[in-house]
Amino acid sequence: MRIDAHQHFWLYDPVRDSWITEEMEAIRRNFLPNDIGQILKDNKFDGVVAVQADQSVKETEFLVELSGFYKLIKAVVGWVDLRSDTVEEQLERFKQHTIIKGFRHIIEGESDPDFLHRDEFLRGIAALTKHQYTYDLLIRPRHYASTLKCVSANPDQAFMLDHIAKPPIKSQEFDEWAQFIADLSGYSNVHCKISGLATEADWKHWTLDHFTQYIEHVIACFGKDRVMFGSDWPVCLLAGTYEDSINIVADKLQDFSEAELKGFWGDNAVKFYSIT
């Protein structure tokens, strides 16, 4: 099964979606499964993992509702307030929706560098582990240290690093990010989406070789069985087409065996998110 492990859907709201700035005009509109269905078929994808873009329970419910109408949604990574005193009760209620495989918080938007290692957040991660949910890591460099502390403190939690931690591709800086990736990949419970790369480059002037050192380093560190493809559609449209998001990665997989390619383009996501 070929799976795009990272897509978003939304009904655009200028207040809620204020993160979509004027320079991001291309995605200031609704994006629903009908908008990507044919493109997925053209590129031989069987389905997607729908990932939260808004931090509300309503967002999680919206993605679950969509999955009932669009079978291309094979898994949902929703949002729940992991710092809430009622997180256990909320997770119990979500159990009725088997399409929900995990949760995410937009850590990159948090100014606190220790956000991931605060006691109330760690209690939430422990609840995810108890209920066998995955957790997607969306971070910036200021969160590197607390990410490592969080992962180290939760060896039984399945973590997914989104967008290879958003390296500074536009400036081609490498060393700090590369050391973090090397350190994080040492934890076998962490997997990595090779996704969202074009939007970290110069949107108008990137070339395929701008991504080479980053993708090669991630694969060398995580190995071929802990990485997978994600387009980050529709956000990827800011810097190219859906096919561009595929091509950025595809030419870096020359030494993958047939089985390893099947893993990268879908089977690794199926296993991590328990997709049936």
Rounded to whole angstroms, the Cα distance separating 152 from 187 reads 7
Q: Which domains does the chain have, with CATH numbers?
A: 3-272 (3.20.20.140)
Q: pLDDT per residue over 154-181, tens digit each?
A: 999 999 999 999 999 999 999 999 999 9
Q: In terms of residues, how long is the chain?
A: 276
First to last CA, the chain: 10
**8 Å CB contact between 35 and 12:** no
Within 10 angstroms of residue 209's Cβ, the number of other Cβ atoms is: 8
Tracing tokens 């207040």 back to the chain, one arrives at 15
Q: pLDDT per residue over 105-157, tens digit each?
A: 999 999 999 999 999 999 999 999 999 999 999 999 999 999 999 999 999 99
Within 10 angstroms of residue 22's Cβ, the number of other Cβ atoms is: 6
User: Which pLDDT belongs to residue 162?
Assistant: 98
Q: Of 136, 173, 127, 174, which Cα lies nearest the Cα of 158?
A: 136
Within 10 angstroms of residue 205's Cβ, the number of other Cβ atoms is: 9
Q: What is the crossing angle of helices 144-153 and 119-130, to 10°?
A: 50
Q: Of 11, 30, 36, which Cα lies nearest the Cα of 243?
A: 36
**8 Å CB contact between 147 and 141:** no
Q: CA-CA distances (angstroms) from residue 189 to 9, 79, 108, 159, 272?
A: 28, 21, 21, 6, 10
User: Which pLDDT belongs to residue 19?
Assistant: 94
User: Which pLDDT belongs to residue 169?
Assistant: 98
Give 104's contacts (C-beta < 8 A, 6+ positions apart).
51, 52, 77, 78, 79, 135, 136, 137, 138, 162
Tracing tokens 């969160």 back to the chain, one arrives at 143
Q: Please list the ranges in the chain whose pLDDT falls under 50.
A: none
Mean pLDDT of the chain: 98
Strand 134-137 to 3-7 pairing: unpaired
Rounded to whole angstroms, the Cα distance separating 242 from 235 reads 10
